[in-house]
Amino acid sequence: MNLPSEQGNPKPQETIKLPIEKAIKEIETEQSKSSEKQEFSMIPIYNEKMKMSEYLDEGYLLITMKGQFSKNLIDLQNQKLLKLLQSEKRQERITEKAISINIAKSMKN
């Protein structure tokens, strides 16, 4: 977002916090235009009394998804998990084969 630093900033509310909140609203507005129902929401989580540095370090954005958004994310995550499990099994087979070869070599000696 190309925001200025909070250090030495005389107007951090105007130059940092408000642009972040505006961007969140713009994203939600654009999403609602492209879909009849809101399939995700973004809620900024922070303490109103935080200093700007704390707002940036400790504040976060809670994103909730449903419908097609969540289905796509779950499908993608399941694909990644499957690839990871396949990779782990492949590595286990390689390790087992190497152990077997080493045992066979040691038995010959």
Q: 16-43, pLDDT tens digit by residue?
A: 999 999 999 998 888 878 766 778 889 9
Give first-to-last CA distance, the chain, whole Å: 66
Give the DSSP H/E element, type plus range, for residue 104: helix 67-108
- pTM of the shown model: 0.58
Digit-coded pLDDT (tens) for 36-64: 677 888 999 999 998 998 999 999 999 98
CA proximity to 58, closest of 49, 67, 66? 49
Euclidean distance between CA atoms 69 and 80, whole angstroms: 17
pLDDT for 7 equals 85
Domain ranges of the chain: 1-65, 66-109
